[in-house]
């Protein structure tokens, strides 16, 4: 455990040279430095599609933008990040993160991951990025975290523990391999939105392909895998476990909960906007000589006004999503159906007759866990 376990972020050039020392024979494409990525022209015809529900037998899409499974992709188009259902800066940042972690084809990890790895990736702190002569770009302030979900990858080898992953079709002797880098799916959380980045898988026996967040496949996975997931995933819906916990804990109606979530998500957006404006102000104050020495950047800089931050739902900017009470109700019902057996068992066999009957309410039981925490389950009938 002597080598590079605790290496910290260093300038890209330095990292590259130290990498070449270790692996001189490996040829890999040199990524464009992160700072320059935004200079790249965006792909023509790149219009991020609006997130709408695709419910079979329901012709009219709902007005609110709710998370759903992105449209199916053609084989081979998987690495074309313009297909990802998120903003362009989110795509670029996620791709860069995956490259740095060696999770992108042709890239090796910049840092030795060892055991010090988190599946959560958080955006850089834009205020700390040195923007030498220009006003800051709002793009750095418009990123959401993402969670990497790649059960087939070496990243999760410890979890697989020599076991083989199941085939979605239930093939015997299944051999599950990666069939592309995957794609992100937006998730509503209690403190904002994030993306679940799931790999694309293929069974070598039946040639079937699917995404690792497929609800049918997740059902077949051992608990030790699915337990890691921060979200509850169904065929059509995806919701953070934190939202379900909060619904259960507070007993609030889905309407109240939807309002609470939307308020929080808009608050996050406003805060990001404010952070952007303050950073702009900081640059301009420096140039105005407020911090003793006048800088010369004002003579170099082209723009005199900060770029517009954009609206909440701006698909090229913050790309905020909406969640409806209807959506939450569906998720709650699914989750209850899913856990009904376990809850009934818990109420009946573990605590059995010890419950005092309360006829004034339908049934809402407080359940004490071994940790001493209380949790209430609303059980009808």
Of 170 and 289, nearer to Zn ion (C-beta) is 170
Q: Which residues contact 89 (CB under 8 A, 6 or more apart)?
A: 38, 139, 140, 142, 143
Rounded to a whole number, what is the distance in angstroms from the first to the last CA of the chain?
A: 57
Q: Closer CB to Zn ion, residue 171 or residue 367?
A: 171
Using the contact rule CB under 5 A, the part of the chain among 88-96, 158-166, 205-213, 262-270 near Zn ion is: 205-213
Which position among 15, 108, 119, 205 is part of the footprint of Zn ion (CB under 5 A)?
A: 205
Q: Is 203 in the site for Zn ion (CB under 5 A)?
A: yes
Specify the residue, 171 or 215, whose C-beta has the smaller distance to Zn ion: 171
Give least dist CB 221 to Zn ion, A: 15
Contacts of residue 86, Cβ cutoff 8 Å, sequence gap at least 6: 48, 94, 144, 184, 186, 195, 319
Q: Which two tokens stand for residue 107?
A: 């890239």
Of positions 169, 256, 330, 335, contacts Zn ion by CB under 5 A = 169
Nearer to Zn ion by Cβ, of 187 and 201: the residue is 201
Smallest gap, in angstroms, from Cβ of residue 174 to Zn ion? 5
β pairing state of 238-240 and 231-233: antiparallel
- Residue 92 DSSP SS3: helix
**Among residues 12, 53, 113, 171, which is the contact residue for Zn ion, using CB under 5 A?**
171
- Least separation in angstroms between CB 207 and Zn ion: 8
Residue 176 makes contact with Zn ion by CB under 5 A: no
Contact 138, 317 (CB under 8 A): yes
Burial group, residue 15, by CB count within 10 angstroms (0-12, 13-18, 19+) = middle
243 near Zn ion, judged by CB under 5 A: no
**Which H/E stretch holds residue 147?**
strand 146-149
| Comparison of 164 and 253: residue with beta carbon closer to Zn ion | 164
* Residue closest to 178 by CA, chosen among 196, 195, 165: 165
Q: Which residues pair with 178 in a beta bridge?
A: 201
**Contact range with Zn ion by CB under 5 A, out of 134-142, 200-208, 244-252, 324-332:** 200-208
What does the alpha-carbon distance between residue 87 and residue 35 come to, in Å, rounded to a whole number? 17
- Is residue 206 a contact point for Zn ion (CB under 5 A)? yes
Q: Which residues contact 43 (CB under 8 A, 6 or more apart)?
A: 82
Piece in contact with Zn ion (CB under 5 A), picked from 29-37, 203-211, 215-223, 364-372: 203-211
Tokens standing for 61? 């899409």
* Residue 16 vs 220, nearer CB to Zn ion: 220
The residue (of 203 and 328) whose beta carbon lies closer to Zn ion is 203
Nearer to Zn ion, 143 or 202 (CB): 202
Nearer to Zn ion, 215 or 284 (CB): 215
Minimum distance of Zn ion from residue 163's CB (angstroms): 16
Structure tokens at 110: 């910049």
Q: Give which of 69, 26, 94, 88 is closest to 237, Cα–Cα.
A: 69
Q: Which is nearer to Zn ion, 9 or 206 (CB)?
A: 206
The least distance separating Zn ion from the CB of residue 154, rounded to whole angstroms, comes to 22
- Which residues neighbour 144 within 8 Å (Cβ) at sequence distance 6 or greater? 86, 90, 123, 192, 193, 194, 195, 319
Question: Do residues 198 and 189 touch, judged by C-beta distance below 8 A?
Answer: no
209 makes contact with Zn ion (CB under 5 A): no
Under rule CB under 5 A, how many of the chain's residues touch Zn ion? 6
The gap from C-alpha 108 to its chain's centroid, in whole angstroms, comes to: 22
**Per CB under 5 A, does 202 bind Zn ion?**
no
Taking CB under 5 A as the binding criterion, the range among 102-110, 149-157, 188-196, 202-210 that sits at the site for Zn ion is 202-210
Identify which range of 48-56, 152-160, 163-171, 311-319 contacts Zn ion by CB under 5 A. Answer: 163-171
The verdict on 167 binding Zn ion (CB under 5 A) reads yes
Binding site for Zn ion (CB under 5 A): 167, 169, 171, 203, 205-206
């Amino acid at each position: 455990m002597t080598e590079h376990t605790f290496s910290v972020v260093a300038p890209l050039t330095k990292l590259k040279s130290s990498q070449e020392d270790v692996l001189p024979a490996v040829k890999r494409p040199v990524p464009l430095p992160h700072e320059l990525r935004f200079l790249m022209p965006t792909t023509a015809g790149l219009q991020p599609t609006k997130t709408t529900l695709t419910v079979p037998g329901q012709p009219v899409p709902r007005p609110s933008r709710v998370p759903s499974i992105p449209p199916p992709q053609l084989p081979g188009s998987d690495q074309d990040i313009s297909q990802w259902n998120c903003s362009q800066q989110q795509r670029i940042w996620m791709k860069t993160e995956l490259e740095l972690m060696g999770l992108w084809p042709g890239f090796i990890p910049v840092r030795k991951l060892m055991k010090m790895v988190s599946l959560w990736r958080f955006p850089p702190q834009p205020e700390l990025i040195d923007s030498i002569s220009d006003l800051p770009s709002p793009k750095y302030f418009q990123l959401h975290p993402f969670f990497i979900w790649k059960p087939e990858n070496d990243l999760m080898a410890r979890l697989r523990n020599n076991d083989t992953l199941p085939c979605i079709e239930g093939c015997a002797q299944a051999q599950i391999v990666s069939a592309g880098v995957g794609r992100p799916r937006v998730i509503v959380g209690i403190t904002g939105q994030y993306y679940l980045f799931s790999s694309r898988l293929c069974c070598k026996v039946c040639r079937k392909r699917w995404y690792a967040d497929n609800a049918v496949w997740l059902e077949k996975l051992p608990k030790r895998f699915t337990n890691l997931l921060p979200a509850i995933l169904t065929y059509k819906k995806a919701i953070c476990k934190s939202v379900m916990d909060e619904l259960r804990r507070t007993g609030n109606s889905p309407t109240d909960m939807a309002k609470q979530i939307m308020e929080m998500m808009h608050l996050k957006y406003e805060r990001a906007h404010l952070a952007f404006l303050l950073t702009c102000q900081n640059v301009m104050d420096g140039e105005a000589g407020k911090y003793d020495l006048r800088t010369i950047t004002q003579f170099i800089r082209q723009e005199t006004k900060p770029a517009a931050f954009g609206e909440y739902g701006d698909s090229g900017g913050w790309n905020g999503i909406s969640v409806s009470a209807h959506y939450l109700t569906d998720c709650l019902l699914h989750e209850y159906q899913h856990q009904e057996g376990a809850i009934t068992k818990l109420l009946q066999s573990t605590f059995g007759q010890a419950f005092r009957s309360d006829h004034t309410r339908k049934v809402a039981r407080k359940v004490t866990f071994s940790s001493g925490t209380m949790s209430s389950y609303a059980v009808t009938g």
